Amino acid sequence: MAPNSPASTCSTADTTTLADIGAELKRVAMKMVTKDDLTHLTNNIYEAIKSEVNGLKAEITAQEHCIQQVEKRAQTTEDHSTATDTALKRQGTLILAMRRQLEDQDNRSRRNNIRVRGIPESPEGENVEEMLTSLFCIILREDTPAIIKYDRVHRALRPRPTEGTPRDIICCLHSFAIKDMIMRKARSRAHWNYRVHYNNEWVSARWPEDIPQFLQRLNLPPTPVPNCVFMPLDPRPQPQRQARRRRWNSQGEAPRHRPDLNNPEE
């Protein structure tokens, strides 16, 4: 058999190479993405994005609903708060008016009160109402105690003292006119202020209890005082007058003595 010629060898190699290239091109063409593949891929991506967007829309819708509920509750709370503030202001005004009325009623309830001091207490019990009625009849110079009516009469609400100043008597008269009349009469008869210059000294009587000593110092016989009730009272403290310091002016001179116009001895 005759050997192959160089031309036939070259032709075979070229044919093999072209065949291989064609097969390779087919394989590459088969691996390339086609239009259908792109369409399918695009649809898949669209569906995935659509699903995610729908989920986001649902979440946003739920959030919007929650926000609307929160805003609605906030508005309701604000309305309630405004109504509460208005009610509190109105109640404050009403409470202030009620407080003023209560103070007025308290003051009115005390208008008829009289406090009597210095009446000694009986250790065996006492009828305070009868004592006050007798005292007020003497002050008013009335013989009919029926005009004096009380709403309440009692001693001061504290323990009974064993010694010393007795407890005050507090009474609430039923009629303000009677109470006012008693107070005016008592004020007019509170001080006598009788002063007599005798034997180079002043003798004074300001209280009914001073009458016996006043008459004794004037060398007068004892005289009963009508319509007066002498009760043992504690001695009234006498005010002590302190000596005034003398002031000197800038020239070193003592100020001139100014006479006291209220003292008849000067």
Digit-coded pLDDT (tens) for 190-223: 556 667 877 888 888 777 777 788 888 888 888 7
Q: Is residue 1 part of a domain?
A: no
Q: Is residue 256 part of a domain?
A: no
**CA–CA separation, 26 and 20 (whole Å):** 10
**CA–CA separation, 166 and 172 (whole Å):** 19
**CA–CA separation, 148 and 179 (whole Å):** 9
Domain that holds residue 96: 19-110
**CA–CA separation, 144 and 265 (whole Å):** 46
Mean pLDDT score, 167-175? 91
Digit-coded pLDDT (tens) for 128-143: 898 889 888 888 887 7
Q: Are residues 25 and 106 in the same domain?
A: yes
DSSP string, 116-143: E--PPPPTT---HHHHHHHHHHHHHT-S
Q: Is residue 260 part of a domain?
A: no
Digit-coded pLDDT (tens) for 95-132: 999 999 999 988 888 888 999 988 888 877 788 898 88
Q: Are residues 184 and 221 in the same domain?
A: no
Q: Is residue 12 part of a domain?
A: no
Q: Is residue 261 part of a domain?
A: no
Q: How far is CA 1 from the centre of its chain?
A: 136
Q: Is residue 163 part of a domain?
A: yes
Higher pLDDT, 40 or 266: 40
**Comparing C-alpha atoms, which of 200, 250, 210, 203 is closest to residue 230?**
210
The number of folded domains in the chain is: 3
pTM of model > 0.75: no
Q: Is residue 224 part of a domain?
A: yes
Q: Is residue 196 part of a domain?
A: yes
Give the per-residue pLDDT at 246: 53
Q: Are residues 26 and 105 in the same domain?
A: yes
Q: For residue 241, what are the CA distances in angstroms to 179, 238, 244?
A: 37, 9, 9
Q: Are residues 129 and 171 in the same domain?
A: yes
